[in-house]
């Protein structure tokens, strides 16, 4: 019968042993509701699963997991290395409850010297390396890239304008005037000389800066001796700029030309992992991570999970220095070497400069975790006080804050930001392009109804049992009684009636600090002007304002940049840029004949006929 309890635990796991052989592979453990508990890999599936089948010396976390296991799934692989890669991929995709999970998986920016133009440009690049050229990175942040780009422009006078802007220049731009560009767009430097500066930039970014600076110093001395003082001054400025880049890096290891330094600090059931990127004997920045883990997880398990997930979609460097050893370092090195296509060394240094690099990263990890724990304690106290101020059943673990942005009803967007015990969770932010055709322009109530309907319809579809962490404990709406009434009506229609909804209105004087708070069936509430809860809510509202306005501006900018060319089948961004660069405007394109259109790079005879037909055969 369906009402009978589902069997779980050791006996359930033991029943699977008859189906398993000694192949390597990946196993999944699921609870009575078929929710994923854990993903693991094994060199020998039968031997690994038999460990779970026997009551024994399991950690409290593993014992709990076994007691909840109602079923298992298996996938065999050819090698243990394949099993390791598949395990890390499934953990990132499925986010099992009992696995160590890397929560922040952002991509890192690189510097790109383009390779599809006689005068390559230098620019910041993030994402897949699809564009032709030379990539240098990763850098830990956009700020680190921007600082290096700034100094590179000073040192090598490389262009940073797009190809379309380059093709349309008739005189040097401001960057030339302030000595940040050599103005190849108007022929003030030859292709051969520009290629020389590009090669110098590549040498510098590849770590061969000492030879480069010695060569520049020699050229400066020769120019001064020949009384070419202007050229000597320019070379002097380049040397200063290169020195400035190196000084800004802070750490410039002699024994590590390219590698990542990864340090882990654990305390109070939390962990911080610091990653330092060493490239070209220079520190290109660091980034901290706070993986999700159980209180009884050990350092080797956390480090193994972090390294596997961190490099799941990233190219590993030739050297990875760790503060703690891995559960299986040889297997991880083999897997990462296969991904890179060349040997990857994983080491836990004990002495020398490499050990000093790890100790520096470890110190940063300790300090970062201490700050985070302090901030988390403050955040938890604010959530407790928020629950008390508004008579909530419990402190909210997930607060969703909503706002709309538009100008006279045009380019309308809805925005949602999320906050919880760890502060703002930017990876959970969502934007909603208002699509309703029956909404009167400027109808904020109608916009909020659409946003709420879409948000909670999707939540009910993805998690009807409301078991996941995606369901909010509190909704904050920027607005008064009317907005709250609209939101409550939508939630009631969807059968969601147990989530508190608070409206934040500016009050009669519309002054900061005099906000009024609205809840259905309750009197309007106000907080004292020095109440920490009021400051907390103001920060939440300011953040959703910022996100909503930024999203609206981006949408408006796209609309401003839209042209009839966007509607022509086969004309994508590249052809659009080529047409606009050649003719100057979409209107000029519409007037061009097929022969003129065929003169544009990338426009074939058939494409030219299609563009001409679009403008001349409509209607």
Does 226 or 134 have the greater pLDDT score? Answer: 134
What pLDDT is attached to residue 619? 42
Q: Tell me the pTM.
A: 0.68
CB 181 within 8 A of CB 156: no
Does 596 or 209 have the greater pLDDT score? Answer: 596
Q: CB atoms < 10 A from the CB of 511, how many?
A: 10
Please say if the pLDDT value at position 186 is more than 90: yes
Q: CB atoms < 10 A from the CB of 2, how many?
A: 3
What is the sign of the dihedral through the CA atoms of 308, 311, 313 and 319?
negative
Helix (H, G, I), strand (E, B) or coil at 301: helix
Work out the pLDDT band at 398, boundaries 50, 70, 90.
Answer: very high
Fold annotation for 258-370: Nucleotidyltransferase; domain 5 (3.30.420)
CB 64 within 8 A of CB 105: no
The CA dihedral of 247, 248, 252, 256, to the nearest 10 degrees, is -140
Tell me the pairing of strands 410-420 and 423-424. Answer: antiparallel
Q: Is 385 exposed, middle or buried (0-12, 13-18, 19+ CB in 10 A)?
A: middle
Backbone φ, ψ for residue 51 (5° rounding)? -65, -40
The CA dihedral of 574, 578, 581, 587, to the nearest 10 degrees, is -100
C-alpha distances in angstroms, 519 versus 150, 190, 236?
51, 70, 67
> Distance between CA 372 and CA 272 in Å, rounded?
9
First and final C-alpha spacing in the chain: 66
DSSP conformational letter for 268: T
- For 500-554, write each residue's pLDDT tens digit: 999 998 765 555 667 889 998 889 998 888 888 999 999 999 999 898 888 777 7
The DSSP code sequence of 436-472 is -TTSPTT-HHHHHHHHHHHHHHHHHHH-TT--STTS-
CB 184 within 8 A of CB 169: no
> Distance between CA 120 and CA 160 in Å, rounded?
9
Fold annotation for 10-94: GIY-YIG endonuclease (3.40.1440)
Q: How much is the mean pLDDT over the chain?
A: 85
CATH code matching the domain that covers 564-616, chosen among 1.10.3720.10, 3.30.930.10, 1.10.150.20, 3.90.1150.10: 1.10.150.20
Helix (H, G, I), strand (E, B) or coil at 266: strand
> Distance between CA 294 and CA 100 in Å, rounded?
7
CB 223 within 8 A of CB 239: no
Q: What is the mean pLDDT of residues 249-265?
A: 81
> What class is the 399-558 domain?
alpha beta
Q: What is the mean pLDDT of residues 184-202?
A: 91
Work out the pLDDT band at 252, boundaries 50, 70, 90.
Answer: low
- For 43-69, write each residue's pLDDT tens digit: 999 999 999 998 877 888 899 999 999
Work out the pLDDT band at 407, boundaries 50, 70, 90.
Answer: low
Instruction: Identify the weakest region by mean pLDDT among 224-233, 307-316, 451-460.
Output: 224-233
> Distance between CA 564 and CA 340 in Å, rounded?
44
Please say if the pLDDT value at position 566 is more than 80: no
CATH 3.30.420.340 positions along the chain are: 258-370, 399-558
Q: What is the mean pLDDT of residues 15-39?
A: 92
What pLDDT is attached to residue 361? 93
Q: CB atoms < 10 A from the CB of 498, how many?
A: 9
Which segment, 105-119, 324-338, 511-525, is predicted with the most confidence on average? Answer: 324-338
C-alpha distances in angstroms, 124 versus 55, 127, 160, 197, 418?
55, 10, 10, 18, 29
Q: What is the mean pLDDT of residues 231-256?
A: 67
The DSSP code sequence of 192-247 is HHHHHHHHHHHHHHTT-HHHHHHHHHHHHHHHHHTT-HHHHHHHHHHHHHHHHHHH
What pLDDT is attached to residue 147? 81
- For 278-314, write each residue's pLDDT tens digit: 987 888 888 899 998 877 788 999 999 999 999 988 8
What pLDDT is attached to residue 474? 95
Does 362 or 235 have the greater pLDDT score? Answer: 362
Asked if residue 71 has a cis previous peptide bond (ω within 30° of 0), the answer is no
Helix or strand holding residue 319 (H, E): strand 319-322
CB 99 within 8 A of CB 294: no
């Amino acid at each position: 019968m369906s009402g009978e309890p589902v069997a779980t635990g050791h006996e359930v796991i033991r029943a699977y042993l008859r189906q398993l052989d000694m192949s390597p592979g990946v196993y999944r453990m699921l609870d009575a509701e078929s929710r994923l508990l854990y993903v693991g890999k094994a060199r020998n599936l039968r031997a690994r699963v038999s460990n779970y089948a026997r009551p024994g010396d399991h950690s409290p976390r593993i014992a709990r997991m076994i007691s909840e296991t109602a079923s298992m799934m298996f996938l065999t692989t050819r090698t243990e290395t394949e099993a390791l890669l598949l395990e890390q991929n499934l953990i990132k995709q499925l986010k099992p409850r009992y696995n160590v999970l890397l929560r922040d998986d952002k991509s890192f920016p690189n510097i790109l010297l383009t390779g599809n133009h006689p005068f390559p440009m230098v620019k910041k690049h993030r994402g897949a390396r699809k564009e032709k050229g030379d990539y240098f990175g990763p850098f830990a942040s956009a700020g680190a890239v921007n600082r290096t780009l700034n100094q590179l422009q000073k040192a090598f006078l490389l262009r940073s304008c797009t190809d379309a802007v380059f093709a349309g220049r008739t005189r040097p731009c401001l960057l030339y005037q302030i000595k940040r560009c050599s103005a190849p767009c108007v022929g003030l430097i030859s292709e051969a000389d520009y290629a020389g500066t590009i090669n110098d930039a590549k040498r510098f970014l590849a770590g061969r800066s000492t030879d480069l600076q010695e060569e520049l110093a020699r050229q400066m001395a020769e120019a001064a001796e020949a009384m070419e003082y202007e050229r000597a001054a320019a070379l002097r400025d380049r040397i200063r700029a290169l020195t400035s880049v190196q000084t800004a890096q802070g750490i410039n290891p002699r024994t590590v030309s390219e590698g990542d330094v990864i340090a882990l600090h654990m305390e109070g059931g939390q962990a911080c992992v610091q990653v330092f990127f060493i490239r070209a004997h220079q520190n290109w920045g660091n980034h901290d991570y706070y993986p999700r883990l159980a209180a009884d997880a050990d350092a080797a398990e956390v480090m193994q999970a972090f390294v596997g997930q961190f490099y799941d979609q990233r190219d590993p460097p030739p050297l990875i220095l760790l503060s703690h050893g891995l559960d299986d370092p040889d297997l991880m090195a083999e897997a990462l070497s296969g991904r890179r296509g060349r040997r990857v060394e994983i080491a836990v240094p004990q002495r020398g400069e490499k050990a000093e690099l790890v100790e520096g990263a470890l110190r940063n990890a300790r300090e970062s975790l201490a700050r985070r724990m302090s901030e988390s304690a403050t955040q938890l106290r604010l959530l407790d006080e928020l629950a008390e101020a508004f008579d909530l059943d419990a402190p909210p673990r997930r607060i969703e804050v909503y706002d709309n942005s538009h100008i006279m009803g045009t380019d309308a967007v809805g925005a949602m930001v999320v906050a919880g015990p760890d502060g703002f969770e930017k990876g959970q932010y969502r934007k909603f392009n208002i699509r309703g055709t029956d909404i009167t322009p400027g109808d904020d109530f109608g916009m909020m109804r659409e946003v709420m309907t879409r948000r909670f319809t999707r939540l009910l579809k993805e998690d009807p049992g409301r078991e996941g962490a995606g369901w909010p404990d509190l909704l904050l709406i920027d607005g008064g009684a009317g907005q709250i009434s609209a939101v409550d009506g939508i939630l009631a229609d969807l059968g969601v009636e147990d989530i508190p909804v608070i409206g934040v209105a500016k009050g009669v004087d519309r002054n900061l600090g005099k906000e009024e708070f609205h809840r259905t069936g309750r009197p309007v509430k106000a907080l004292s002007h020095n109440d920490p809860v009021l400051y907390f809510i103001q920060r939440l509202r300011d953040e959703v304002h910022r996100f909503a306005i930024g999203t609206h501006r981006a949408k408006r900018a796209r609309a401003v940049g839209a042209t009839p060319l966007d509607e022509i089948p086969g004309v994508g961004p590249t052809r659009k840029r080529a047409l606009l660069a050649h003719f100057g405007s979409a209107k000029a394109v519409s007037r061009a004949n097929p022969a003129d259109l065929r003169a544009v790079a990338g426009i074939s005879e058939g494409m030219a006929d299609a563009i001409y037909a679009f403008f001349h055969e409509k209607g």
